[in-house]
Structure 1
Amino acid sequence: MPATVKYNHSIVIDRPRGKVLELMTETEHLPKWQRGLAKVETLEGEPFTLSAKTRLVFDTGKKSLEMTETLVDMRLPDAYTAIYETEELWNRVTNMFSEVDGKTLWTTENEFVFSGMMRYLGPRMKKSFIKRTEYEMARFKEFVETHDQPEPLESDLQPASQETLEPHEAFEPHEAFKSHEPLDTTQHE
């Protein structure tokens, strides 16, 4: 049986769905809100079209992390699903968007399947994956809501706290897991 982690997360963005999707689907904006993203390379198809493949390279300061993104379901403006793959990780993310009173509710369904050493470490690191998702979604929200302003993102100005996870930390054991504390196995939404 493969080792897996699943969870959902939602955030409300104070902008209409059309603006949110415009900024999310323009690849030149990705490094502005995905911390550490150093390179975006189209491998197949046009960006943000069904079956498009993109190589993403993150510079973590210690090492680089490379992954391939494949868009497997495209139902914009309502939803799209992408698969992210590394040597020891397969990650499906379904992004859903709904608009209410000029604001956008963005919900993600996240599923990770681990192999290699990550088969043993991944399930123990669920909280790290959840924190990373929450952090990236909050950065995107901030990017969208301040997009028309020339100043840098507030999170770029503040030094990283111990709660802020860098991309490589989602793949390495977090301090909390070294003490063998019991994990919260309830569905996080």
Structure 2
Amino acid sequence: MIFIYNDFGGTHTTALAAAFHLKKLPAHAELTREQILNIEYFNKLDTSDMGKIIFHGVDEEGHSVYTVGRGNSKIFVPGLKDMFEILQKRNGTEEQLIFSNTSPTVPLSMTVGGFFSRRLGIDFIGVPLLVMGAKQASAQIAYLVEHTKEMANKSSEQVLIIDNKKELLITEVS
């Protein structure tokens, strides 16, 4: 099984999701500034990195975990799905591919922080906002990861796209 967490930039909620998935972060504890800023790729990718599929590691069940920033594209993930299905048919692989959208977990402070830090290069404003946003969103992201794993285990689809809805995440996390 291959997990690909995706959002607009691929450097904040996706990096957190990959870290939770790989158990590099505690799922049920408040994160510290240091834990957040030490996550590989957190706030380290630029616009030029959008579309690059980044490997984060292999989970305890042997599943690969990746992230990608898809920008504003509504066709990026469906296009990847089609490409993977072509390769599956051609090469006969039984590998399952799971796309999980982390965008619904992004709080306003993370959006603004990402804009200041990644787009404008003003880290002294952006990074504190990103840390605040990561702390606000961490419980929802941890839940999204568990939800993604459950849906993947229940699905028989070769390629599963989990769009995730904000309503689901808000009502399920307390």
Normalised by the length of structure 1, the TM-score is 0.33
More strand by share: 1
Q: Which has the larger radius of gyration?
A: 1
More helix by share: 2
Normalised by the length of structure 2, the TM-score is 0.35
